[in-house]
Amino acid sequence: MTTVGRAGAGEAGDTAAEPAAVVVDPVVDPGEDGAVVEEPEAGGTGSGEPASSERVAPEPEYGFPRALWRGLARIPVPPPADPRTWRSPLRGTWLTSVFGAVLLVGLPIVILTGLLSFIAYGPQFGQALPADVGYLHLPFFDWPSNPSWLYRLTQGSHVVGGMILAPVVLAKLWSVVPKLFAWPPVRSAAQLLERLSLLALVGGILFEFITGLMNSQYDYGWGFSFYTAHYYGAWVFIGGFVTHVAVKLPTMLRALRAGPGGTGALGRWLHDSPAETEPEPMDHTGLAALAPNKPSLSRRGLLGMIGGGSLLVGLLSVGQTWDALRPLALLSPRGQSYGNGPNDFQINRTLAGSGINPTALDDGWRLRLTGGSSEVSLSRRALLDMAQHTATLPIACVEGWSVTRTWTGVRLRDLAALAGVPNPDTAFVQSIETSGAYARATLQSNQVLNPDALLALKVGNPGEETVDLAPNHGYPARIIVPALPGVHNTKWVAAVDFRPA
């Protein structure tokens, strides 16, 4: 027989004040032997009860008014509030802590890359959405244009990372579901507040996953702007997440360090077969089952299944942003084969969708460069006669997919010099397209001056010969800037205004 204090929650120093702190915790193996002798300990909650093989939940700590909470707790309740509803022998503080530890590493990556995407869109130019976010943003800085795969990496991590974490989030929620229905619903003012903060945590993460997954698959049936929802939803989640970590981190660390039955032998629980799997001991977190079923799955098996689920999702999703693995992206709309030609790659705005009259792309098209003392007008022929530069660059979408192409065209900095503004502070690019949020974009100085930043005229498979851009890819000319979010690489460019400092 073992006795446990309130090691699971709260401060050890205060527990001596309450007799309820010492409880009986018989380790029962219901699958093998029902005859576990339990010696009720004087002063413990088990003292009045007959010896039995039942597991006993430790008396929880109650706040003011204690009599009310304790009275409520004694009322017999039907399922699902009855703790006997929850029978998985695998649930417990240790298991929840394992999922928690994975999410504690993974979710900050998803959060930070999401907030970085906001910066990458150029909030200083009012072109990040939502436009005015008050203090809710990372410190502003000029988004780098080097390395060229930066946005591909951050946004790929955000979207694919979130998808990979989805099975872990579901598993974590499964592991704590008895708490949702726990009776009494609250035991103190502290717990009432904490449960409200959990609404921000759980509601936040589910809301973020649902809006993110729907948006990346073109399902916009909400009735609100995705950017507004996903951005402020993220901050609601961040509030819940940071608070939850602050409150629960000690519990998690203690459970992971203590391991099975306080032995610290992490390997033992992972080694057990289903038949050897013992239920987790009951403690103050209230996660372990009061009346566990005989295990049909080992801890190793459960963690393997969740990890396998994440691996499966990862394998089928990473291809949308990793060219070599594209054939594996069987379920991603952006994983489809577009063919093998130089212009056969993902389109995010078709010419038909842009509303541009195709005759505007004919020989009469001229590029207007402004900002200097006089306006410069260039035909496509004139652009092709300028010094041509070729660069192999990825184009990466906020939706998490990306693709590498080789682009040929005129360096933006050459155009800036031609316009008479060799060191522009910003460049304002306008498309022939007039409707739509991305018919224009402002580029930072570093994005204009990067030697690989181009007004592309041609495109091709990576490392291969380039051909004229197809109309759907922005013929006669489009912007391509390293590490710039895809939609800011304006297609069907009509004019560039170089603005001096």
Partner 1 sequence: MRATLRFWRHLYGENPLHLLAMVGCFALVGYAVTFVFPGPSALALGIWFAGAVIGHDLILYPLYAFADQPLVVLRWARRRVLPRRPALVPAINHVRAPVLGAAVLGLIYFPTISQRGDAAFTFASGHSMVGEYANWLLITGVLFLGSAVIYAIRLGVALRRPRPPVTAPEEPDEVTEARSGAT
**Residue 328 or 384 with smaller CB distance to partner 1:** 328
Say whether residue 48 binds partner 1 (CB under 8 A): no
Residue 76 has what DSSP assignment? -
Other beta carbons within 10 angstroms of residue 352's beta carbon come to 10
Say whether residue 274 binds partner 1 (CB under 8 A): yes
Helix boundaries (H) for 279-424: 299-317, 351-354, 380-385, 412-419
Say whether residue 10 binds partner 1 (CB under 8 A): yes
Alpha carbon of residue 117 to chain centroid:
12
Identify the residue among 3, 47, 146, 217 touching partner 1 (CB under 8 A): 217
8 is written with which tokens? 């699971």
Say whether residue 210 binds partner 1 (CB under 8 A): yes
- Name the minimum Å distance from CB 122 to partner 1: 20
Identify the residue among 108, 259, 309, 372 touching partner 1 (CB under 8 A): 309
Say whether residue 254 binds partner 1 (CB under 8 A): no
Say whether residue 240 binds partner 1 (CB under 8 A): yes
SS3 percent helix, strand, coil of the chain, rounded to 5, is 45, 15, 45
Cα separation of 479 and 464, whole Å? 20
Spell out, one character per residue from 463 to 482, where the chain touches partner 1: x when CB under 8 A holds, - when not. Answer: ---------x----------
Say whether residue 280 binds partner 1 (CB under 8 A): no
- Name the minimum Å distance from CB 471 to partner 1: 11
Identify the residue among 130, 261, 372, 451 touching partner 1 (CB under 8 A): 130
Identify the residue among 202, 303, 403, 448 touching partner 1 (CB under 8 A): 202
| Of 392, 381, 443, residue with least CA distance to 127 | 443
Say whether residue 25 binds partner 1 (CB under 8 A): no
Say whether residue 288 binds partner 1 (CB under 8 A): no
Cα separation of 338 and 345, whole Å? 6
Cα separation of 102 and 169, whole Å? 9
Looking up tokens 């809301």 gives 207
Identify the residue among 49, 219, 375, 425 touching partner 1 (CB under 8 A): 219
- Name the minimum Å distance from CB 416 to partner 1: 31
Cα separation of 231 and 114, whole Å? 9
**Residue 140 or 220 with smaller CB distance to partner 1:** 220
Cα separation of 80 and 71, whole Å? 19
Segment near partner 1 (CB under 8 A); pick from 106-114, 121-129, 145-153, 311-319 = 311-319
Per CB under 8 A, contacts with partner 1 among 355-394 are: none
Helix (H, G, I), strand (E, B) or coil at 108: helix
Total interface residues for partner 1 by CB under 8 A: 98
Say whether residue 50 binds partner 1 (CB under 8 A): no
Q: By the 8 A CB rule, do 240 and 202 touch?
A: yes
Identify the residue among 52, 124, 127, 197 touching partner 1 (CB under 8 A): 197
**Residue 253 or 382 with smaller CB distance to partner 1:** 253
Say whether residue 294 binds partner 1 (CB under 8 A): yes
Q: By the 8 A CB rule, do 170 and 307 touch?
A: no
φ/ψ of residue 415, rounded to 5: -65, -40
Q: By the 8 A CB rule, do 400 and 155 touch?
A: yes
